[in-house]
Structure 1
């Protein structure tokens, strides 16, 4: 049976609602999965006008009431927002709703009512205004699933990147990098790719400083202190990993096929190359969780929200990858959620 994929609406003042509608216009989505939106039906109905869509919204309060038909968007309606919510503006109301959409999706995943979660973008400022003090989706997912060992993986054509640190400043990121964390991420990368069907993943690890420190010429020996012990430990366990290597050439080597995945030390080191390949093609995957979660690799784009011009390509790809990663089941267990 096609897996049930819950698509959280994200920040309703951003492009999330309209890219969801555009994704449902793609007939492939319903063919590969049973998608259900976790959000607000009133907001989705409003967004139909942005993209001139004739799709119908089926508002439900139980997963079992979804119809999963072409031409229909099943929306698990939390009824949190008014249709007068301003578009393209930060608001605590939208931030609060975005948190609760994700919270509900996590509960449904824990209850085995859905098979994977795919998230539209939220806005961190709006999230914080609503009193939900998290750096982003990843940290909410980790806390609400009691997960301590996790990492952000970005996937684009010809390149996969997994991060040691993410949403912290650069100076703080260097402080947080240590051999235990680097080793943990190497293990997560190896296990994730093996589950995805790569029997012996080739893993490469970025340095922190230019030229990976050039044997101590740049930096203060961070590579030798923070990265080398982790790589050696993983190698002793027969993991196919090399590094630390200079990041400025490593990503080129990965895109030509030398490596299956790159381990980046901090946010922009990993995000930059992925986004050069195209904002529409990148997908964000949280690894290490007990549930499957994928996401678009772009933000709420308040500047173009409500104009109907935002691309749905990243969301469609995120849904496709959620389907690939979702548990393979023959029948559902009939939960009345």
Structure 2
């Protein structure tokens, strides 16, 4: 593997807490031991936030392209018009435009290999909407840009990993949006990500039901019988260890969580409410299934505290760490897969082995 990882960081909505959590994370010079950060944003907007937050002794290295990044500095690429206006705590057109311009430049650099991974600060999902960006969020935009095989919103922490079948859609549309093939696709992505991104050899995945009590055998809904159980069975036939469907309330209320490597929820709030309840301060949003690595903190723009020095940077810090770890994991697994398998001549091995191979038990005849 090459040297230090180059991490692109988009500034998010300029009226939110994006710059605050970026500054607080990168103010620790030890971060530069792990990666070379490249912020996609605006040096003018950054200076405004730094002054508002009264942050001293923190400088940015202005560069035009990612290949100019200084490995021992926090670098910034100007993507935004200098006339952009910052209005802390407000959802404005300028805020949405500035967020989009940073995302577009960063993802193009990611696609071209100019940066190794991407960490995105929070955007406002409504004011970013335009002719260029007509997506419910980062996940859908990145899927359209990088993948023909879909993606998975995966929330990760030390406590749990939770993916969702349906993402940013109204609850009234969830049932119609779920089908057997879609669940199998999400399980396939999740299973591969657990192996390749998190180095889990034999992932065990819990699948949640859609209805209360997982439908109670069809009494409270048929989706489990008609859609979810067939999906689980199909996934098993593909070698995916998927179990369920489990009632969501009982699953998270018991110790079942500790028995699985990940959970697949049917819709956004079913998975994210318990996740954020247990992991809000250090949770990370990871877009699994893409050929590139992208993470983000698991919270939003927090307009209500923007510019007040109240934002907790821990989730963003963990997003940065996870981007580094996942990138390394992928590269390590790619290197391993290239190595030829070594063959051994068992007849030439030392007879005095410490381990005795088990003997095959004789088969018993069936009773008549």
Displacement of 1:194 in angstroms is 0.5
Displacement of 1:279 in angstroms is 2.1
Displacement of 1:156 in angstroms is 1.8
Q: Which residue of 2 aligns with 1:334?
A: none
Looking at structure 1, the residues matched to 112 and 289 of structure 2 have their Cα atoms a distance apart, in angstroms, of 18
The gaps in structure 2 that reach 5 residues or longer are 333-368
Q: Which residue of 2 aligns with 1:64?
A: 67
Q: Which residue of 2 aligns with 1:90?
A: 91
Looking at structure 2, the residues matched to 254 and 154 of structure 1 have their Cα atoms a distance apart, in angstroms, of 19
> Taking structure 1 as reference, are residues 78 and 150 closer, same or farther at Cα in structure 2, changes over 3 Å only?
same
Which of 34, 37, 56 is the matching residue for 2:36? 34
Counterpart secondary structure, 1:303: helix
**Preserved contact between residue 251 and residue 257 of structure 2 (Cα < 8 Å):** no
Offset from partner CA, 1:124-160 (integer Å, 9 cap, x none): 1211267632101111111222434111000122110
Farther off after superposition, 148-157 or 124-133: 124-133
Q: Return the TM-score normalized by structure 1.
A: 0.92
Q: Which residue of 2 aligns with 1:264?
A: 265
Counterpart secondary structure, 1:38: strand
Q: Which has the larger radius of gyration?
A: 2
Counterpart secondary structure, 1:167: coil
Counterpart secondary structure, 1:5: strand
Q: How does 1:197-212 map to 2 (within 5 A)?
A: 197-212=199-214
Which of 3, 6, 21 is the matching residue for 1:4? 6
Counterpart secondary structure, 1:75: strand
> Taking structure 1 as reference, are residues 26 and 253 closer, same or farther at Cα in structure 2, changes over 3 Å only?
farther
Looking at structure 2, the residues matched to 211 and 132 of structure 1 have their Cα atoms a distance apart, in angstroms, of 39
- Specify which structure has the bigger relative contact order, considering alpha-carbon pairs within 8 angstroms and separated by 6 or more residues: 1
Offset from partner CA, 1:53-100 (integer Å, 9 cap, x none): 32011111111222132xx42101113353642111111111112112
> Taking structure 1 as reference, are residues 81 and 228 closer, same or farther at Cα in structure 2, changes over 3 Å only?
farther
Which of 16, 20, 23 is the matching residue for 1:21? 23
Looking at structure 2, the residues matched to 205 and 165 of structure 1 have their Cα atoms a distance apart, in angstroms, of 13
Counterpart secondary structure, 1:56: coil
Q: Return the TM-score normalized by structure 2.
A: 0.85
Cα RMSD of the aligned pairs, angstroms, is 1.8
**Preserved contact between residue 284 and residue 319 of structure 2 (Cα < 8 Å):** yes
The gaps in structure 1 that reach 5 residues or longer are 331-337
Offset from partner CA, 1:151-208 (integer Å, 9 cap, x none): 1000122110001001001120111000000001111111000112100001000000
Looking at structure 1, the residues matched to 21 and 175 of structure 2 have their Cα atoms a distance apart, in angstroms, of 36
> Taking structure 1 as reference, are residues 224 and 88 closer, same or farther at Cα in structure 2, changes over 3 Å only?
same
Looking at structure 1, the residues matched to 77 and 283 of structure 2 have their Cα atoms a distance apart, in angstroms, of 26
